[in-house]
Amino acid sequence: MALGMLQSGRLLYDSLMPIFQSIKFRLIGLGILIIVAGIGLRLFFALPFAQGLLRDEVAAQQLSIASYIARDIDHSVQARQALIAELSSALPPALLQQPEKLAIWLEERQRVNPLFNSGLLVVRPDGDGLLAEYPTVAGRSELVFSEVGWFQSALQADTPVMGRPQRGRASGEPILIMAAPVRNAARQVVAVLAGVVALNTPGFLDRLQETQLGVSGGFLLVSPADKLFVGASDPAMVLKPTPPVGVNLLHDRAMAGYRGTGITINAKGIEELSAMVTVPSTGWFVVARMPTAEVFHPINAMLGFYLKNTLLIVAGMIAIMLLLLPRTLRPLTDAAHAMREMADGKRQLAPLPIRRQDEVGSLVLGFNYLVERLRDKEMALKESEARMAFMAHHDALTGLCNRAMLEDRLQQAMARAQRDGGHFALLFCDLDDFKPINDEYGHEAGDAILRQVAARLQDGRRSTDTVARLGGDEFVILLTDLNDTRNAAVGVAQQLLAAIGIPFNIAGTIFELSASIGIALYCGGGISTSQLMSQADIAMYQAKRAGKNEFFVFDETLEPFRI
């Protein structure tokens, strides 16, 4: 019995040995081994490498976007601080004894430069109520401010102070208060002038609160000193306290002063890629965040595609070697050799020639298909990067330059003018009565009009000029390299008013619009880009006060006047 089993085993071994020692088996085994090893090495090395590259690219883009938002917020805060300082120094102390005239004085300033859209307040020096306010808010004049932090700080400060972001005691809306002392000739504090701005004011924090990154990413604006979320893409997080120490390690580092990028687990247990940028004038910082699942989605999708196609290729190779090895051995060897050279970088990745219409040809065809798909993925990634770069400097709706690009062009124009003694002009254009169109006909009609307005503003402009959209219905035109600056700017303003005055046909509906244009001229001298923008903005509001469909040129020695 034992001898019979031994003989049977010997016969089985003798019958299988030729198969194990055959070149077919060895080639099949070698091919499988090479493919499995190649997949393992690529998964072990290439996948983390690709994820790292994608992470760094997305992190750099997030950092760029966060920096732009931080600069925009910083500019808005500084503009309001400068305004409250200017108003406090310009307020005549004699008006403090005349509440009605004081209220009129506040109303006039508010209409000229309405940066504090929730009102201007003049608080008594003891903090017990108001001397005047504009506009009037029910219950606000009866509030006591003596124990409020920003009021106490303003009494001791020589420069504007900013209060803790909070909900208004009278309105209940999220607000920010900036204040400055009003002093008499003896430098005694006789009142405190305060400006109130709603956090969701257009041009302040509304973009941060309305913008998302990807599908579920977004932005946060954090005040480390107050341990508070000042703004967020998620409205439910506004004015909420920041998470305790230990919940989010990257957040803890940011609260301690770290600025840059990193990956962390948020309070909801979701892994995120975040970028932190400081808002210099406030001590706040902006966080741009996106779930890593969205960041690495292209890599994961490509990995699945790669694995599926690799399995198909392996199956095809085995079938070819088992059925048609004697006939196809040589072409298969040549193809495998070429593929290994491409994988090792010794040969350029390119489609292989198909010499035979059989399984080897199918294998080569599958490889060529994979090469084309990889090229398509690469081209799509480059196009995506180009789109992101374009979006970072252009307005998504009209394709015009955005605020960041305008500031860069304006700084270049000023540097060139200071170097060469040249002149340029800045035109601030605001559409008159545009909001009712959005309210009555919807944002689609409003967006269509804005795109046509952008085209009309660009029509006739030189290659050296810049047309930008700041947001909403506000546009800025930068005219450089001018000989007769004033006449050239006036001529362009007249042309723009005439162009915008042509009726707009939107889906069969005719709209008639006009615009108010403020002109600021740069003819040399110590003036900053922000001051030049402010001059153009002031002149534009003067045009609106004059009845709209007007243009005004700002003169720093006089009130803005129309040519």
* Amino acid 389: pLDDT: 67
Q: Can you tell me the mean pLDDT for 445-472? A: 91
Q: Are 213 and 147 in contact (CB under 8 A)?
A: no
Q: How confident is the model at residue 552 (pLDDT cuts 50, 70, 90)?
A: very high
Pseudo-torsion of CA 483, 489, 490, 492, nearest 10°? 110
Is the CATH number 3.30.70.270 carried by domain 393-553? yes
Q: Please tell me the predicted confidence (pLDDT) of residue 304.
A: 76
- pLDDT of 15 > 60? The answer is no
pLDDT attached to residue 18? 57
What span, in angstroms and rounded, lies between the C-alpha atoms of 482 and 420? 12
DSSP state of 550: -
- Across 52-56, 150-154, 427-431, 526-530, which has the greatest mean pLDDT? 427-431
d(CA 319, CA 359): 8
Instruction: Report how far residue 541's alpha carbon sits from residue 537's, in angstroms, rounded to the nearest whole number.
Output: 6
Who has greater pLDDT, 171 or 398? 398
Higher-pLDDT residue of 543, 374? 543
Please state the rounded mean pLDDT for residues 314-333.
Answer: 67
Residues 477-499: what's their mean pLDDT? 91
Q: What is the pTM of this model?
A: 0.49
Q: Is the pLDDT of residue 453 over 90?
A: yes
How large is the average pLDDT for residues 187-201? 88
For residue 184, give every residue at least 6 positions away whose Cβ sits within 8 Å of its Cβ, in sequence order, or none.
Answer: 93, 190
What distance in Å separates the CA atoms of residue 333 and residue 342, rounded to the nearest whole number? 14
For 155-169, 206-220, 278-292, 308-322, which range has the lowest pLDDT when averaged over its residues?
A: 308-322
pLDDT band at 276 (very low <50, low <70, confident <90, very high): very high
Q: Which of 513, 322, 334 is nearest to 434 (CA)?
A: 513
Query: Which band of pLDDT confidence, cut at 50, 70 and 90, is reported for residue 561?
Result: very low
Query: Regarding predicted confidence, which is higher, 189 or 320?
Result: 189
pLDDT tens digits along 124-137: 999 898 999 998 88
pLDDT at 543: 92
Residue 106 clears pLDDT 50, i.e. is over it: yes
For 35-66, letters b (16+ CB in 10 Å) and e give beeeeeebeeeebeebbeebbeebbebbbbbb
At 191 the pLDDT is: 92
Catalytic entry in 473, 481, 484, 537: 473
Q: Where are the alpha helices (DSSP H) in 196-259?
A: 206-210, 249-255
- pLDDT value for 562: 45
Q: How far is CA 262 from CA 3, 402, 429, in A?
A: 71, 28, 41
Backbone phi, psi, residue 494, to 5°: -65, -40
CA 67 to CA 287: how far, in whole Å?
10
Give 327's pLDDT tier (boundaries 50, 70, 90): low
Closest among 413, 550, 428 to 482, alpha carbons compared: 413
Structure tokens at 449: 């009009």
Which pLDDT score is estimated for 124?
Answer: 92
**Distance between CA atoms of residues 154 and 163, nearest Å:** 10
Q: Is the peptide bond before 93 cis (omega within 30 degrees of 0)?
A: no
Range 74-79 average pLDDT? 89
Q: Lowest-pLDDT range, 369-383, 416-430, 437-451?
A: 369-383
pLDDT (average), residues 511-515: 92
CA distance 375 to 343: 15
Q: Give me the sheet containing 474-482, strands edge to edge.
A: 466-471, 474-482, 423-431, 515-522, 551-553
pLDDT: is 71 or 13 the higher one? 71
Residue with tokens 């005691």: 169
For 34-72, the DSSP string reads HHHHHHHHIIIIIHHHHHHHHHHHHHHHHHHHHHHHHHH
The residues facing 264 across adjacent strands are: 272
Does residue 411 carry a pLDDT above 80?
Answer: yes
Q: Mean pLDDT of all residues in the chain? A: 83
Say how far apart CA 225 and CA 78 lie, in whole Å: 19
Cβ–Cβ under 8 Å, residues 190 and 183: yes
Q: Contact, 124 vs 148, CB < 8 A?
A: no
pLDDT at 43: 65
Give the residue, 467 or 418, on which the prediction is more confident.
Answer: 467
Tokens of 284: 């706040």
CATH of domain 59-306: 3.30.450.20
Q: For residue 20, what pLDDT is reported? A: 55
pLDDT for 343: 73
Mean pLDDT across the stretch 191-209?
81
Q: Is 72 a catalytic residue?
A: no
pLDDT digits (tens, 9 = 90+) for 541-551: 999 998 889 99
- The whole-number pLDDT of residue 44 equals 67
- pLDDT, residue 563, reads 44
